[in-house]
Structure 1
Amino acid sequence: MSDIKLLITFKSALYNYSLEQLRYISKEGVWSIGQMYDHLIVVAHEYLDNLETCTTLTEEQPLGKTQFGEQLFRNGGFPPIKIRLPDELNSPPSNSDSKEDLIIRMDQLIQRLSLWETKVDYINPHHKVEHGGFGWLNAKEWHDLVGMHFRHHLRQQDELESYLL
């Protein structure tokens, strides 16, 4: 499934949730479905911001990915485990958006990702921005990371939906 189709699938799922379901937190330390969506959207825009930064660079970066970054891209995605960032990087996502707000934000993200999909292959692959865990990524890698991150959260979506029953 293409990354755009994946995002459209996530967006379509939003129509199935009530506001109460979107904001439902089953227990402390577990996100609501709405928080998961907020996280996905915010992080995707951060990745696309870094992609855009790659287009403005004039110096080539000889450094590459970390060992984990190499493995991530070789495998085409995150390992099937829960990943918890350090507390200082792990503030809870917003749980206040309405379903309509999340749909609008997903539409904006889909539009932005689509815009870059046709351009990303023409950006100098040696113009890179550093990711804290994966090393130096070029525009194509930042673009691909959006889809990898969404796919990684498919399991979380299933888990959060199971709490709603």
Structure 2
Amino acid sequence: MRQLNYSELIDLYKINLQQYSIDQLRHVSEQGVWSLGQMYDHMILTALDYLDQVQRCASMSEVQLQGKTEAGDQLFCAGSFPPIKIRLPDGPENTPSNSETVDDLIRGLETVLQRMYEWEENLNAINPNYKVRHEGFGWLNAREWFVLVGMHFRHHLRQKAELEQKLEF
């Protein structure tokens, strides 16, 4: 089965998003589990952060020869996050908003998509040795940060399906 590219993935998320009522979007099934809205907010904010790192790489002038961590090597070798649940540390910085509307989230996804289109055209011009450190994956260049956006959206498809199962349509 062909893997969806980032544009197809974001379009899929946008289409699915329009099916939820505001109550479904904000429904928290149990303590410690995000709502669909929180998952979408997390994905948007993470994607925008990753794209900010692409920008940082593009604006550098100093080569970074350090590489990825073992986890980073495994991630990029596999081309995807492992099929496991990854729990972020508790804290306000890791608790996505549960007050966004469908329209807010669609606008956020469209912003991500627009920025990805803009960067995709320019990735080849960025020195692959200009890198920014990711806390878990090590030193990533602009293309790797860019690819990480799509990997992250694909990773959350399983969570989206699980959260949807807990809703009544």
TM-score (norm 2): 0.94
Partner SS, residue 12 of structure 1: helix
What is the 5 A alignment of 1:1-165?
1-88=4-91, 91-165=94-168
Q: Would the alpha carbon gap of residues 155 and 90 (structure 1) be closer, same or farther in structure 2, given more than 3 Å must change?
A: farther
Cα separation, 1, equivalents of 2:155 and 2:34: 15
Cα separation, 1, equivalents of 2:90 and 2:36: 20
Unaligned runs of 5+ in 2: none
Cα separation, 2, equivalents of 1:113 and 1:8: 13
Partner SS, residue 126 of structure 1: coil
1:22-44 deviation per Cα after TM superposition (whole angstroms, max 9, x unaligned): 00000100100000000000000
TM-score (norm 1): 0.97
Unaligned runs of 5+ in 1: none
CA contact (8 A) 2:29 2:166 kept: yes
Partner SS, residue 9 of structure 2: helix
Aligned length: 165
Partner SS, residue 129 of structure 1: strand
